[in-house]
Structure 1
């Protein structure tokens, strides 16, 4: 387990878990959202995202943990990844975590990613681009996408770990050997 991708719907705790796993396994942590998002909620072009991801992966040649998965990055990531860990929690857990996280960020005005000026806001939270609307729309789609990814014959060389509760995830992390 040296090239790991953490997947799951928004609010599942991908970033927190990925950072913890990277630290425990002494691997480089790569935050996919940080590579995607530019200032003022602008997305990197596909070409720019692919280049940033390629450079980040190359700079962590001894191993990395990437949190997140965009459909457009699947071919590039699945070429190198040896393990995919899916945080597949019930909708209510994701919603609770997302609510807690989002309100905390609205209050703190903390920057979301190192390489952009993006912050959560009440206005954004209540807009058509709300992360809550995103969760509602993406939760069922992501479950189908991740199940298909696991069953894809092209990805049978990858070890898939399917964690279905925060307790199971904590146990997994606690029992990992470096």
Structure 2
């Protein structure tokens, strides 16, 4: 199935420019027969994704798992000047902004977890198969078994 990176659809140019047609792009993708998104989604498309999905894989990891990953990734991107979405780059100055991935991951962890929990139990999404993993080892085992069937 085609894989779509949510941030790459959302940020399309220098200065973290946002695509005005983002929601329309997502709507077109979810109307196709099969797709995979990598994110809980942006609020403007979150319910659209859940309405059209048949499965949600929830990586419900603790902060102690998430934060080292976010920090390593952002540090690598900053030091190596790796381009990310829309050709943008993480900068040293960006680390002091509230929307930097590290700050955002820390501050939004509990709220995102609670929001996903609400959606999982929302009757509108009772059609979804929800696969929840609380640790990377659980996801690794599931994926290994899926591939080696």
* TM-score normalised by L of structure 1: 0.76
Instruction: Specify the alignment match of 1:49 in structure 2.
Output: 22
Select the residue among 158, 164, 178 that pairs with 2:128: 158
What does 1:130-169 align with in structure 2 at a 5 Å threshold? Answer: 130-169=100-139
**Which string of whole-angstrom CA distances, capped at 9 and with x for unpartnered residues, describes residues 56-113 of structure 1?**
345xx34211111122212321221000011111101111000110111112211113
What CA distance in whole angstroms lies between the structure 1 residues aligned with 2:105 and 2:140? 23
Q: Tell me the number of residue pairs that the alignment of Structure 1 and Structure 2 aligns.
A: 146
How large is the Cα RMSD of the aligned pairs?
1.6
Q: Secondary structure at the match of 2:132?
A: strand
* TM-score normalised by L of structure 2: 0.90
Whether the 8 Å contact between 2:30 and 2:49 is mirrored in structure 1 is: no
Instruction: Specify the alignment match of 1:29 in structure 2.
Output: 3
Select the residue among 35, 43, 65 that pairs with 2:36: 65
CA shift at 1:30, angstroms? 0.6
**Which string of whole-angstrom CA distances, capped at 9 and with x for unpartnered residues, describes residues 136-171 of structure 1?**
221010011000010000000000111111101100
Q: Secondary structure at the match of 1:175?
A: helix
What CA distance in whole angstroms lies between the structure 2 residues aligned with 1:76 and 1:127? 30
Structure 1 residues 176, 133: CA separation in 2 closer, same or farther (over 3 Å shift)? same
**Runs of 4+ in structure 1 over 6 Å off:** none
Q: Secondary structure at the match of 2:8?
A: helix
